[in-house]
Structure 1
Amino acid sequence: MALAWVNQHLDVGERILRTEALHGGITAEMRRLTIGTREAGTRDLVLRTFVDVEHAEDWLHREADALTLLAGTGVPAPGLVAFDPTAAYCEYPSLLMTHLAGRTVLDDEGLETRVPLLARQLVAIHAVRPAERPREYVAWTTADTVVTPEGADAAAWAAAIDVIRRPAPPGEGRFLHRDFHPGNVLFDVPHAQPAGARITGVVDWAAASWGPADLDVAHCSTNLALLHGPAWGPRFAEAYEEAGGVLAAAANERLYWRVRDGLAFSEDLRAAARPWRRAGRTELTTRAVEERLDAYVIALMDELG
C-alpha cells in the first residue's frame, strides 16, 4: 500500500528500484527508496512510517508543516514530497521526503569540532521566523514522574525535582526543533580530516514547536552529557552563546530548563541508550548512562543551583 502511494508521487517515467531500512530512529520506521529516473539515473527518497504510535497524526502534521516552512531558509532539512497522516492510503501514517546526504556521528573522536557546528546550526534554526507560529512546546516530564536512578545522589536529585516544581520561567519564544541532538544531525566527515566535518542535514522535525531557546539547548546538552560525558552539557550551552545564541539571563531560569530536560531522560533511559548501542557505542549500557545522568544532574545543581 505504501509503495503504491509513493508511486503516485513520482515523476512520469520514474519507478522504485529498491528499498533499504535505515536505523537509528526510536518512534518511526525509516526506509530509503532508490528511484529510477527517466534519464536512467537514480535519486533517493525517504519513507517515514509511524507503526502503532500514539499521536502519529499530530506528529506528521507538525513535521510536514516544519518541512514546508524550512524550504528556502538555508536550514538543511529534507524537502516534503507528500504525507498521509491518517493512513488513508498507506497501512500506517507515513511521510515521504527527499533524502539528505551524510550520516550521524556519535563517536567521541572529533567532538571538539562538531560541538561548535551543532551550536551554530541550532542558532540558525532559532533564527527562522515563521509567518504562523507552530504550537507551543510540550513539557516531557513532571516532578511526580521523575525516576531517580539506583545509587544516585538522593539530595541532588531531590533538589533538582524541587526546581521543576516551580512554574516555568517566562521567556521569548523561538521556532524550536524540540528534539535537536547528534542523532538527528547528519554530517559529512572526511576520513583523513575529521576537523573538516560539516553538517549536511537536520532531520526528525515531528516535535517542532514554539518556546524558549533554552529548551533546545537543554535537550542537546543532556544528549551530549550522556553520549560523551557530563562536561559536554555545559560546553554546548557555552558554544551556543559563542555562536550568537541568546539564553535566559538568570541562572535559576537556565537551571530550570536544563534540569527539566535531564530529569525527563530518567523516565526511560533504556530507550534512550538503545539506538546509541546499535550505532556502535556498546559501552553505553543503561547503567552507564544512569551514572552519567546522575553526574550531570549533580554538576548542574553545583554550577547553577
Structure 2
Amino acid sequence: MRPKTLAWVTLHLAPGEQVVSAKPLHGGITAEMRQLTISTGNGDTRDLVLRTFVDADHAEDWLHRESGALTQLTDTDVPAPELVAVDPTAAHCEHPSLLMTHLPGGTVLDNDGLETRLPQLARQLVAIHGLRPAVRPREYVAMTTAETVVTPTDADATAWAAAINVIRNPPPPHEGRFLHRDFQPGNVLFDTPSSSPASARLTGVVDWAATSWGPADLDVAHCSVVLALLHGPAWGLRFTDAYEEAGGTLAATASERRYWQVRDALASSEELPAVSRPWQEAGRTDLTPRVLEERLDAYVTALMDGAG
C-alpha cells in the first residue's frame, strides 16, 4: 500500500488494530481494489476493502456517489458493504479512495450453476429497484449516442443499422427507480461450494459508484447484455423474463423495452476490449475481444429479429 493511504486507513481502525496484509482483487476496470487484512490485536483478524482511483477523471464524483449510496443502503435488506471512510479529493491519500467493509463470497463468472444464480440475480435487482431513498441519486446517463456506436467487425450491418436508428428516438416515458447502474455478475458476490456450483447463494452487491435514478429497464438491459457476453445471447434474453418472474415491472410495450435493451447493448460495443481483460484475468480466457464481438452481434441481431 502507498504510505499516505496506509496512514489514512490506520486512522480509521479501532485502537490496537493494524493492517497486516493487502491483496489485490481482480475484476475492476476503473479502480484498484485491495482486500486488507486487519489484526484486531487479540489474535483475530477482520477484512476491509480499499477502492482507489489512480487515473480517473470522475473519481471525486464516483466516490461521492458511492459513499452516499452505501450510507443510504445501511438500513436496508440489500447486502451492500458498509462505508468506513472516504477521501474523494485525495486530501489524505495519494489518490481518491474509499474504505468499506468486506462481504463474504466472490464473483462467479463460470457457466456452471448459472441456472441457479440467474433467478437470484433477478430477485436482488427487484429488491434494489424497490428502494425509495430520502434523497434520490442523480438522473441516469445513457452512455452512448447513435454517433459513437462501434459496430463490431463482420457484424450484421442491417441489424446494427436498425438498432442505431432505435436510439435516435427520444427515450420512452418511464417511472423512476433507484438504479445500481452496473448490476451484473462481476458486481454480485456468491457463496459457492466448490463441490456444488448449483448451491450458490447470493451474499452481496458491490460497486455502487454509478448509482442513478431512472427506468428499471436500464438496469435489466445492462445485466442482460453482460450475461449475453459472459454466457451467450440466450442467457441475456432470458434475464428479462427472470426479472418479471421475480416480481419486477418493466416498460409496458415491447418497443419501449427494446429501446432500453438496444441502448445498453450498443453502449457495450465501445467497451469490449476493456471488459475482456479483467474477465480473462479472472479465468475466463475464452472471452477474447473477438468472441465478445461475436456474442454482442448475435445478441443485438436477436433483439432486432424480435422487433416484428
Do residues 210 (structure 1) and 216 (structure 2) align? no
CA RMSD, Structure 1 to Structure 2 (Å): 0.8
**Residues in 2 aligned to 1:229 and 1:194: alpha-carbon distance in whole angstroms:** 19
- Aligned equivalent of 1:93: 96
Q: What is the percentage of aligned positions where both structures have the same residue?
A: 73
Once the two structures are TM-superposed, the CA of residue 163 in structure 1 deviates from its matched residue by 0.1
**Residues in 2 aligned to 1:236 and 1:273: alpha-carbon distance in whole angstroms:** 21
**Residues in 2 aligned to 1:18 and 1:102: alpha-carbon distance in whole angstroms:** 19
- Aligned equivalent of 1:84: 87
Do residues 110 (structure 1) and 135 (structure 2) align? no
Once the two structures are TM-superposed, the CA of residue 49 in structure 1 deviates from its matched residue by 0.1
- Aligned equivalent of 1:127: 130
Match of 1:173 among 176, 198, 218: 176
1:137-286 aligned within 5 A: 137-286=140-289
Pick which of 117-126 and 274-283 moved more. 274-283
Structure 1 unaligned blocks of 5 or more: none
**Residues in 1 aligned to 2:213 and 2:34: alpha-carbon distance in whole angstroms:** 29
CA contact 2:113–2:199 (8 Å) conserved in 1: no
Tell me the SS of whatever aligns to 2:169. Answer: coil
- Aligned equivalent of 1:9: 12
Residues 219-246 of structure 1 deviation map (CA, whole Å, 9 limit, x = unaligned): 0000000110101111011000000000
**Residues in 2 aligned to 1:273 and 1:253: alpha-carbon distance in whole angstroms:** 30
- Aligned equivalent of 1:38: 41
Aligned length: 305
**Residues in 1 aligned to 2:26 and 2:197: alpha-carbon distance in whole angstroms:** 23
TM-score (norm: length of structure 2): 0.98
TM-score (norm: length of structure 1): 0.98
**Residues in 2 aligned to 1:224 and 1:304: alpha-carbon distance in whole angstroms:** 21
Give the residue type in structure 2 aligned to 1:152: A
Once the two structures are TM-superposed, the CA of residue 268 in structure 1 deviates from its matched residue by 2.4
Pick which of 81-90 and 31-40 moved more. 31-40
Give the residue type in structure 2 aligned to 1:94: S
